[in-house]
Homo-oligomer: A and B are copies of this chain.
Amino acid sequence: MPAPEPTPPQSSLPATAAHFGAHVLTEAAARACDIKAALGGPPCVPSMPAPPAVSVPASPPPDAPTAVVATPIPDLERTLRPNGLGTAGLRLIPREQLPTPSKPSSATAGGRPIPGLYHHQVAEPDPVRVEEVSQRIKSWALDEVSLYPEDWEEQFDGFSVGRYMVGCHPDAPTIDHLMIATRLMVAENAVDDCYCEDHGGSPVGLGERLLLAHTALDPVYTTEEYQAPWAKSLHADAPRRAYRSAMGYFGQAASASQTDRYRHDMARLHLGYLAEAAWAQTDHVPEVWEYLAMRQFNNFRPCPTITDTVGGYELPADLHAQSAMQKVIALAGNATTIVNDLYSYTKELDAPGRHLNLPVVIAEREGLSERDAYLKSVDVHNDLMRDFESNAAALAADCPVPTVQRFLRGVAAWVDGNHHWHQTNTYRYSLPDFW
């Protein structure tokens, strides 16, 4: 027989579904959806009317002079926005407090959105939560993991990670839940900074450093003689101390499957770093598609995919693994990551050496001016965002399972919060003069 296409993989879930025969209705419904989708049958929406088709606003012109603030899309909004219909009823843990909706970000914080960038404006993150998370993350960094020397304090404060994570997880029930995400984000940045980038990083030997750091997430099991020096190594430098501690807290809140999911996403991230390092070492500029493939791995993905743990619930592993969900997650991660390429463009141009980002690669490979390459990169982002939203809406319609709906809303909230943080973090980012 001919070799089948590798994606999307077909599923043998019928056997599993039979094995799980006594599942609650929503689980069974989700499985049925997945099976039918895998077999090419019509989507199944048991006991609930199918939402109307999602309409997506037209693509902006390539050099649109002003920000494209999303036109409200009622059905998609209802499905994906944190304040959408029925969200409160889905909360599994009562929230300590709801963030107070405030004025749109551009009125309360610095920074303007990239002209023409398709995004959703969100409320400024709850300042009470931001203050509490900011204080606690600094204590953790200094007192628990000795993350950085004193003269890096300004950079740490400028990172505004408390504001970042509060904005990305509006449905976190408590500060403790927000701290799970915040520690991991800081740890991920410490590894990137210290091993790969600004603070002593290098592509030489990176494969060793990342693997040994990865063992703080995915533990080594070996003989007694060698287990001890491995365990000691997790305290040997700031990146490993941070990974180890942040993962410990995460593991207290996450299920075994959620922990496995996070490990997998971090393995992807580390593979992405290593592909980028290979290019840096040989001073090679990849093809645009190669860069985008690398960037699907060197990607924010591990951050939105913990939205359920941070929200105090669990997207079941079998629903997370569905090919439709994997596609939504990949598209969301890719959109958020290109946002980073676009907002950090001038920062990276100013840094020593050539730093690959999408505009730089497009300019080099497609012979475009810096401005045209940047504007084309905005288009690439916008296409990824729309693909994310349309695929998420389709999946939400096909699988009306509360955890699926909430997870998709959580990922969308992370996408929006990520954009807001990039737009408003004028300590780190400024826009090029292309308009």
Complex Cα gap A210–B380 (Å) = 25
User: Is A318 touching B256 in the complex (CB atoms < 8 A)?
Assistant: yes
A310 CB–B CB distance under 8 Å: no
Most chain B beta-carbon neighbours within 10 Å: one of A5, A250, A254, A383 = A5
Which of B9, B244, B254 contacts A252 (CB under 8 A)? B9
The interface bits of chain A over 324-360 (1 if a CB of B lies within 8 angstroms of the residue's CB, else 0) are: 0011001100100000000000000000000000000
Does A107 interact with chain B (Cβ within 8 Å)? no
By a CB distance below 8 angstroms, the chain B residues around A322 are 256
* Given A271-B214, A271-B270, A278-B206, A296 contacting B222 (CB threshold 8 A): yes
Chain B residues lying within 8 Å of A144, measured Cβ to Cβ, are 2-3
A211-B292 CB under 8 A given contacts A10-B252, A20-B27, A278-B205: no
Q: A288-B226, A293-B230 are in contact. Are A205 and B282 (CB under 8 A)?
A: yes
The contact of A23 among B23, B289, B330, by CB within 8 Å, is B23
Residue A51 lies at the interface, judged by CB distance under 8 Å to chain B: no
Q: Does A426 contact B (CB under 8 A)?
A: no
CA distance A288 to B354 in the complex (A): 37
CB atoms of B255 and A16 under 8 A apart: yes
A138 → chain B, closest Cβ, in Å? Answer: 15
In the assembly, what is the distance between CA of A219 and CA of B253, in Å?
Answer: 30
Among listed A72-80, A114-122, A259-267, interface-contacting one: A259-267
Interface check A7, CB cutoff 8 A: yes
Q: Are A321 and B257 in contact (CB under 8 A)?
A: yes
| A58 contacts the other chain (CB 8 A) | no
Residues in B with CB closer than 8 Å to A38 are 256
Q: Is A387 touching B211 in the complex (CB atoms < 8 A)?
A: no
| Distance of A31 from chain B, by nearest CB (Å) | 10
Complex contact B5–A248 (CB within 8 A): yes
Contact residues in B for A215 (Cβ distance below 8 Å): 293, 296
Determine if A290 and B251 form an interchain contact, defined as CB atoms under 8 angstroms apart: no
Residues in B with CB closer than 8 Å to A234 are 6
- Please state if B13 and A255 are interface contacts (CB–CB under 8 Å): yes
Tell me if A20 and B19 are in contact (CB < 8 A).
no
- Verify if A106 is at the interface (C-beta below 8 Å from B): no
Whether B6 contacts A293 by the Cβ 8 Å rule is no
Residues in A lying within 8 Å of B, measured CB to CB: 2-13, 15-16, 19-24, 27, 34, 38, 92, 144-145, 204-212, 214-224, 226-227, 229-230, 233-234, 244-245, 247-260, 263-264, 267-268, 270-272, 274-279, 281-282, 284, 286-290, 292-294, 296-297, 313-314, 316-318, 320-323, 326-327, 330-331, 334, 380, 383-384, 387, 403
Excluding A10-B251, A207-B274, A221-B330, 11 further A-B contacts by CB distance (< 8 Å) are: A3-B245, A4-B251, A6-B217, A6-B245, A12-B253, A12-B258, A34-B256, A205-B281, A210-B275, A230-B289, A255-B321
